[in-house]
Structure formats: structure tokens, C-alpha cells
Structure 1
Amino acid sequence: MKLFVGGISGNLDEVDLKEMFELYGDVVSAIIIKDRETGKSKGFGFVDMANSAEAKEAIDLLDGVSLFGKKIAVKAAEEQPRTGAPRTGFVNKSAPPRRRF
């Protein structure tokens, strides 16, 4: 089960995040989302746990906990649809041709 973790302090790294959730069960992966330009944490990440019951326990026990002075939010991650058109390699033949100047 994939979990969303928000409110992550800049002092926390992916190893710390994984170890924190391993207290409640088997962690498949833990990732903190970083800004492409600066490489700094955006303050949220995802933890993938192998067992749904253990993931639900982690949500119950960790949601709202203060960590490095920030309250973290832990909940089940929701699948978000991708924005923009998918890159399929196909051409829209019904569209008018582009003019090049």
C-alpha cells in the first residue's frame, strides 16, 4: 500500500523516512520528492509498504505526529491522473498541418 507523507522537514532524508515506517512493518520503498532545480526537499514523499494492515497502523499512529518541529500528515496515496497528453508517438492526422515560417 502506497502512503503519502506530507510536512516532511528538510532535516529528514529517505533513509530516516524508511526507518521510521519500518517500525510498523515491511517497507518496499521510501522516497522524498525534491525540487529539480535545487535538489531540496519539497516537504512531501511516498512510502510503499508491503502489507496493507501494517500501512493502516502506520497511518493511525504517525498521522499528526510532530517531527523536527513540523506536524506530518500520513494517509493512503491516491492515484493521480497524469496531466497533459500522453506521448504515444502517434500523429493526429485530423489536425490541420502546422505552418513553419
Structure 2
Amino acid sequence: MNMYIGNLAFGVTEEELKELFSAYGEVASISLVKDRFSGQSKGFGFIEMPSNSEADKAIKALNKTMLKNRELKVNQAEVKKKDKKRRRPSY
């Protein structure tokens, strides 16, 4: 299951998140979203856990908990649907 992790402190690292979420099961991948120009964290990211039951346990345990003085928002990530209709500019 892919999870959204929001309201992260800018200094949080992937290693810290892996350690935190590994207590609930296997972590397949972590992706912190960063500004492409400055490299600064945007304060959110995504964590993939192969087991849905372990991911559910992590969500229930970690949502609204504190990490580096910030209250985490942890929930299942929404699947982004691609728009099949491409709009053409009207001239």
C-alpha cells in the first residue's frame, strides 16, 4: 500500500522515516518530495509497504503523532488518475 505522509518537518530524512515505519512492517520504498530548484523538502512524501495489513497498522499508530515537533498526517495515498482527454488550445 502506498501511504501519504504530510506535515513533515523540513529536516526529516528518509532514514528517520524508515526507522519509524519499520516498527510496523517491511518498508519497500520512501520518497520525500523536494523542490526541484533548491532541493528543500516540501514537507510531505510517500511510503510504500507491501503488506496492506502492516500499512494499516502503521497508519492507525502514526497518524496524528509527533515527529520533530510536527503532528504527522498519515493516510492511504490516493491513486492519481490520468486525464485521457487532452485539451487543445483554442485559437
Q: Same fold (TM over 0.5)?
A: yes
Q: What does 1:1-101 align with in structure 2 at a 5 Å threshold?
A: 1-82=1-82, 85=86
SS in 2 for 1:27: coil
Name structure 2 gaps, 5 residues minimum: none
How much is the aligned-residue C-alpha RMSD, in angstroms?
2.2
Q: Which residue of 2 aligns with 1:98?
A: none
Shift of 1:49: 0.2
AA aligned opposite 1:46: F
Structure 2: distance between partners of 1:82 and 1:34: 22
**Matched pairs, number:** 89
Shift of 1:81: 2.4
SS in 2 for 1:57: helix
Per-residue CA deviations over 1:40-96 (Å, capped at 9, x if unaligned) read 0000000000100000000000000011111000000001124684xxxxxx9xxxx
Flag the structure with more relative contact order, 1 or 2, with Cα contacts below 8 A and sequence separation at least 6.
Answer: 2
Name structure 1 gaps, 5 residues minimum: 86-91, 93-101
Structure with the greater alpha carbon radius of gyration? 1
AA aligned opposite 1:70: R
SS in 2 for 1:18: helix
Structure 1 vs Structure 2: percent identity of aligned residues?
36
Structure 1 ranges of 4+ moved more than 6 A? none
Per the normalisation by structure 2, the TM-score is: 0.88
Name the CA shift for 1:38/1:82 in 2 (closer, same or farther; >3 Å). Answer: farther
AA aligned opposite 2:81: P
